[in-house]
Amino acid sequence: MMAILSGTSLVGCTDENANNKEEAYSYQSKQQLTFPDFVHTSRIPHASDAYAYAVDHTEELSFIPCYCQCGSIDHKSVRDCFIREHDGDKVTFNEHGSGCGICVDIVLNTKVGLDEGKSLDKVRQEIDDTIGEGKEPTITPYPPKNL
């Protein structure tokens, strides 16, 4: 079983971030990546770590569902809670993840599982079984066998 890292998953989405503001912040070049203020001022522990991981792991996170009820705002995976667009060196961030402990926990648990050498499919199953228990997931495709 996967341990919930930050312990914030019961917090869920907070304040205005639960509404998934569609304001996007774009930055050029991952080497000079600067996060928007909402990442640095988040009251959710380790939100900046989740954003940093999301930038470099958008493909993997697109196969991990979110359980904060963000499917109602058209999110398809936990990736959408942090990254609106990722096109080459241009990243457009979504503010939603900065106010949601569930989203942050899912990303950080994905990181831990993959760092431990687990397959993406196994990581997803553990998240489904722990964080997702009794909650409605986003409509997220399963990862291909090669990830």
pLDDT digits (tens), the chain, 147 positions: 444 454 444 445 654 444 444 334 444 444 557 889 999 999 999 999 999 999 989 999 999 999 999 999 999 999 999 999 888 778 899 999 999 999 999 999 999 999 999 999 999 999 999 999 899 999 999 998 877
The secondary structure element, H or E, covering residue 50 is: helix 47-56
What's the CA angle centered on 79, arms 77 and 80, to 5 degrees?
A: 75
Phi, psi of 90 (to 5 degrees): -100, 125
CA distance 80 to 76: 7
For residue 77, give the 3-state DSSP assignment.
coil
The secondary structure element, H or E, covering residue 47 is: helix 47-56
Query: Model's pTM, two decimal places?
Result: 0.82
